[in-house]
Amino acid sequence: MILLRSNSPAATSRLGRKLGALLTAGDVVCLSGGLGAGKTCLCRGIGVGYGAQTQLTSPSYNLVHEHRRAQYETRLYHLDCYRLGNPQAAQSLGIDDILDGSGAVIIEWAERIEPFLPSERLWIDFDIRGESRRDLHCQAMGDRHISLLADFLRALESDAA
């Protein structure tokens, strides 16, 4: 478990930019933490880093937003399970197709559909520590996501240096 700290929404968004630049098809990033923890804020940064042609906003209402970037075919799927009635409802969202490895996937309120998530993933849990301070607990499962997390940390270090 890796702990990252953010002291502002802008810092959370910067973390997202670093992570977004690394995402490729097959990556699954699960996000949890209460309302206002900064999940969508991180996603906004991920979209910028990824090079999405459309801005990432909250998909709470429409449940799934699909984004593309100019040069590559890989889609970025942005899911939000806040409004979902139960985990089974995720199946009717076409979660199996979304997770078929053809795109990168980020999932807000991922804990609500945990039984339907792949075991290999990067999980980021937000902990609200103060007015704008957030702790991000990052845990990677499986080789692919362990190296994604390692690359992410390296990118943050090189930025700090």
**H or E element in which residue 98 lies:** helix 95-98
Q: Which of 5, 7, 10, 54 binds another protein (CB under 8 A)?
A: 54
C-beta closer to another protein: residue 123 or 152: 123
**Interacting residues with another protein between 131 and 150 (CB under 8 A):** 131
Amino acid letter at 26? G
Query: Mask of contacts with another protein, 80-119, x by CB under 8 A?
Result: --xxxxx--x-xxxx----------------xx-------
Reference 100, options 26, 50, 20; nearest CA is 26
C-beta closer to another protein: residue 1 or 160: 1
DSSP labels for 134-161? Answer: EEEEEEEESHHHHHHHHHHHHHHHHHH-
Q: Which of 41, 46, 52, 117 binds another protein (CB under 8 A)?
A: 41
Query: Mask of contacts with another protein, 1-40, x by CB under 8 A?
Result: --------x----------------------x-xxx---x
Q: In what order do the strands lie in the sheet with 103-108?
A: 2-6, 134-141, 121-128, 28-32, 103-108, 75-80, 64-67
Contact call for residues 76 and 66 (beta carbons, < 8 A): yes
Over its C-alpha atoms, the chain yields an Rg (Å, rounded) of: 14
Q: Give the binding site for another protein (CB under 8 A).
A: 9, 32, 34-36, 40-41, 44, 54-55, 57-58, 60-66, 82-86, 89, 91-94, 111-112, 125, 127-129, 131
